[in-house]
Chain A
Amino acid sequence: MTNDEIKTFIENAIKENRVMLFMKGTPQQPACGFSMRASGALNALGVKYAALDILPDPRIREELSGVSGWPTIPQLFVDGELVGGSDIVMEMFESGELAGLLGVEQPELEEEPEPEQPVQQRPIGLENRLN
Chain B
Amino acid sequence: MPSAEELRTRIEEALPGAEVSVVDTTGGGDHFRAEIVSDHFEGLTRIQQHKLIYDVFGDEVGGAIHALSIKTETPSPAGDGR
Contact = CB atoms under 8 A, between A and B. Distances in A.
Interface of A: 34, 61, 69-72, 82-88, 91
B62 A72 contact: yes
B70 A69 contact: no
A96 to B, nearest CB: 14
B61 interface: yes
B44 to A, nearest CB: 13
Interface residues of B, number: 13
B20 to A, nearest CB: 16
B61 A84 contact: no
Contacts of A91: 46, 71
A72 B71 contact: no
A87 B71 contact: yes
**Which residue among A34, A61, A71, A72 has the maximum number of chain B CB atoms within 10 Å of its CB?**
A71
Nearest to A32: B67
